[in-house]
Amino acid sequence: MVLVWNELASGNQEMCAVCVGVNSVLQIALFVPYAFLFLTVFRGTGIDVQIGLIAQMVLVFLGLPLALGYLTQKVAFSTVGRDVYYRRFVPRIDPFGLLGLLFTIVVMFALKGEYIVANPEQIVLIATPLFVFFVGLWGLAYGASAVLGFEYAESSSVAFTAASNNFELAIAVAVAVFGVGSGVAFATVIGPLIEVPVLLALVKVALYLQNRYDWQGYTTGQLNEPTADGEGTSGPAADD
């Protein structure tokens, strides 16, 4: 979903794709020991955690999509060429990201709507720390990027990458380890229901900041602003 938020906020798609790729590699390497640490050492209970099953979920939901995306790009570059791939192929598949997001929202609310209405106190208990996490981490990453001199497009990419979560993987692991009817599985399902409206609101905040502020002389949201002589600029224009 990170790429969807970034696109809606007019962020830097190339930078966001790199951040997502790096994040996926880190999750593949660290998710299993991280889960083992929190489910056994910190929890201090006798829960039988199947590390092999968790590793399998990680490979299916992270490793496989990452590998297929890489292979798709490599094959496309070698057959139709880089220019055709970005100019014709990518625009055709790009709308499926937003359609997938809308489908996810509809399905999740349809499946869990009755339970949510019947248990509002549990929803508030789960939603409160998630709301603080999303808004706090997004604001921290966004503000830090601005202080470091990033342009709007890069700041948005960093902020939405930092604030987003891989709830699909969390749901798969929770269901596999604790069962589909467990409270843990329910909490992971609530996560996207909170993430979607909160990050959509943060998209509006980002677009407002884009139109409201100029970051150290840069035209927000644009990497190369055309000048009067037709040449692009990659930094603040000099007074002379």
Residue 36 belongs to domain with CATH number: 1.20.1530.20
Least confident of 156-165, 187-196, 201-210: 187-196
Enclosing domain of residue 117: 2-212
Instruction: Give the residue-averaged pLDDT of 181-195.
Output: 78
Do residues 126 and 190 make contact, with C-beta atoms less than 8 angstroms apart?
A: yes
Question: Does residue 221 lie in a domain region?
Answer: no
Query: Sign of the C-alpha dihedral, residues 158, 38, 33, 70?
Result: negative
Residue 225 lies in a domain: no
In a domain, 184, yes or no: yes
Nearest Cα residue to 49 out of 37, 63, 62? 37
Q: Would you say residue 232 lies in a domain?
A: no
Torsion angle defined by CA atoms of residues 112, 20, 29 and 128, in that order, rounded to the nearest 10 degrees: -40
224: in domain? no
Taking 60 as the threshold, does the pLDDT of residue 115 lie above it?
Answer: yes
231 within domain boundaries = no
* Separation CA 15–CA 13 (nearest Å): 6
Spatial distance between the Cα atoms of 12 and 114, rounded to a whole number of angstroms: 39
Give Cα separations from 135 to 5, 38, 51, 145 (angstroms).
Answer: 14, 24, 32, 15
Number of domains in the chain: 1
| Residue 172 falls inside a structural domain | yes
- The sign of the dihedral angle between the CA atoms of 66, 70, 76, 81 is positive
191 lies in some domain? yes
pLDDT > 50? residue 232: no
In the chain, % of residues over pLDDT 70: 80
The residue that leads in pLDDT, 84 or 168, is: 84
pLDDT digits (tens, 9 = 90+) for 5-55: 888 888 888 888 888 888 888 888 888 888 778 777 776 555 566 777 778
Return the pLDDT at 99: 76
